[in-house]
Amino acid sequence: MRPRLPAPGPLARPRGVLLTVCLISLATIWLCRLPKMCLSGEGSISHTVTHLTPPAHPPIDLSKADSPFISWPLARVCAESTAWAPGVVFVCDNNSGGIGNIRNYILTCVRYAIDAGASGLVLPQISTRSEKDLSNLMLGQRDFSYFFDEAHFRRSLHSACPQFTLYNTTADIPHAPDPFKAEMITPRNFGLRGGCDKRELNKHTGVFDKAFRKHVEQSAVDFSLPAPSLEHPRIIRFTWGVQWDWPVFRDGPEFASSYGGLLRFYPDILGLGQRAAGYMREYAMQNGASRKFAGLHLRTENDALSRWPKFDEQSGAYLERAGAMGFKAAYLATGNQTEAAKLTRAAKEKHGMAVVTKHELLKSHPADLEALKALTWDQQGLVDFVVLLECEYFFGVSPSSFSMTVAGKRHLKTEGLYTRPWRIGGDGDGRSWLAGKYEHYWEDWLFMFDSLWP
């Protein structure tokens, strides 16, 4: 006869239960010793922690014209392209217009070159335009340093994307055809875009890499061409007008916020703009109680489109808002001297505000004034660009790519590397406001905000 076992009590538990409790306790203690696994004070464990604020990062103001280039977002994108093709070379020179258009064209073209797996890139050239007729965009090309710092571009691109070979000119491409000829493509055609508005940015960038490589392979078969190689390069040039094409936040805010830093202005122009910004602060002090000044971009030159906001719409909105904000001094960027004088008079008479243009500002600095006069109309616009980045509040107009780019670049001050897209229309971001229509995505050119590199 078996002995009777005592009834289970508080000290008598099945060994399996006790073992399970012990293992759970030991696991909990061990996991909480690991860094970043336990939430202090909450007593819970999680492998994924949701942060309401972005991780700490160095306080770099990316809205500055001379901000350092942060290379790791671009390096990450280049590292993700696994099919680099020797002999595929991109030429990014079919640009035109002012700094807003040309800057975005080059950046968009280089971004496509990365996805295409291009192993070569020709240092972009800059298309110039007539100073008398700004709508005449194709007067010829100047070298990269006409706008940008070549040494900075070379150094930054190589540090992030060493896969690229950067050629000085098309003549430096090994085994390039003579006379030179490149294959023209429109990247948005590499995707099924049925029913899309022709102006729409390319929502099919995710398939561009495969579609482009398929195009290269198939056309080689169709036209009996050898596979791309250093001995048989495949040279690609984009058609005109693809600068508003790539959804800039596709690669994340870190990429969108830092990528534009590849294109820093030519050092002499950058320095002149920074000195002008310093003179503007002195001017503001002389005309008010502080060194703060508003920045105005009046876009009424002879190439402005008829449906864009006119002088009265721009100037009236600028002065009303700037006056209500208490500004006593403003910097005016414009190429229309007649209407600059009209705005300056209205600002003084109606708001007691002193308004000055770059030429007037530099009259008391003869050496800088002569340096300014030696620049072309578009190069002088870069000086305006630098000063407008430094103002306390910026007033511009949409759909001017110049105004939009200034506002987008200034927006990077809000959250730096982790800045989200600027909310267009309304009261802006507290740093910039753009007059314009915000009712129709296509007719009012709002699609440009989705494809603009700040």
Q: Classify each residue of 404-418 as buried b or exposed e, where b means 16 or more C-beta atoms within 10 Å of its C-beta.
A: bbbbbbbbbbeebbe
Strands of 56-102 (E only): list them: 85-91
Predicted local confidence at residue 187, as pLDDT: 87
How far is the C-alpha of 24 from the C-alpha of 12, rounded, in Å?
19
User: Would you put residue 430 in left (φ > 0), alpha (ψ -120 to 50) or beta?
Assistant: left
For the segment 295-322, what is each residue's pLDDT rounded down to a tens digit? 999 998 877 777 889 999 999 999 999 9
Question: Can you give the pTM of this predicted structure?
Answer: 0.85
Pairing of β 140-142 and β 165-167: unpaired
Predicted local confidence at residue 194, as pLDDT: 59
Predicted local confidence at residue 31, as pLDDT: 40
Decide if 320 contacts 348 (C-beta within 8 A). no
Q: For residue 265, what is the DSSP state? A: B
From the number of C-beta atoms within 10 Å of its C-beta (0-12, 13-18, 19+), residue 152 rates as buried
Torsion of CA 28, 31, 36, 42, to 10 degrees: 0
Helices (H), 117-226: 150-160, 208-222
- How many C-beta atoms lie closer than 10 Å to residue 95's C-beta? 24
Decide if 324 contacts 348 (C-beta within 8 A). no
Q: Where are the domains of the chain?
A: 72-262, 267-451
Length of the chain: 454
Strands of 300-418 (E only): list them: 329-333, 354-356, 393-397
Q: In sequence order, which residues have a C-beta less than 8 Å from that of residue 254 and are 6 or more positions away?
A: 70, 72, 73, 417, 418
Predicted local confidence at residue 23, as pLDDT: 45
Cis peptide before 399 (omega within 30 of 0): yes
User: Would you put residue 66 in left (φ > 0), alpha (ψ -120 to 50) or beta?
Assistant: alpha
How far is the C-alpha of 267 from the C-alpha of 272, rounded, in Å?
9
Q: What is the pLDDT along the chain (454 residues), one digit of tens a residue?
A: 444 434 444 434 444 544 444 444 444 444 444 333 333 333 333 334 444 555 555 578 999 999 999 999 999 999 987 678 889 999 999 998 899 999 999 999 999 999 999 999 999 999 988 777 676 666 788 999 999 999 999 999 999 999 999 999 999 999 999 889 999 999 878 766 655 666 667 777 888 888 889 999 998 888 888 989 999 999 999 988 889 999 999 999 999 999 999 999 999 999 999 999 999 999 999 998 899 999 999 998 877 777 889 999 999 999 999 999 999 999 999 989 999 999 999 999 999 999 999 999 999 999 999 999 999 999 999 999 999 999 999 999 999 999 999 999 999 999 999 999 988 877 879 999 999 999 888 888 898 999 999 9
Q: Classify each residue of 314-324 as buried b or exposed e, where b means 16 or more C-beta atoms within 10 Å of its C-beta.
A: bbbbbbebbbe
Domain over 267-451 is classified CATH 3.40.50? yes
- Integer Rg of the chain from CA: 28
Q: For residue 48, what is the DSSP state? A: S
Residue 100 has phi, psi (to 5 degrees) of -60, -50
- How many C-beta atoms lie closer than 10 Å to residue 267's C-beta? 15
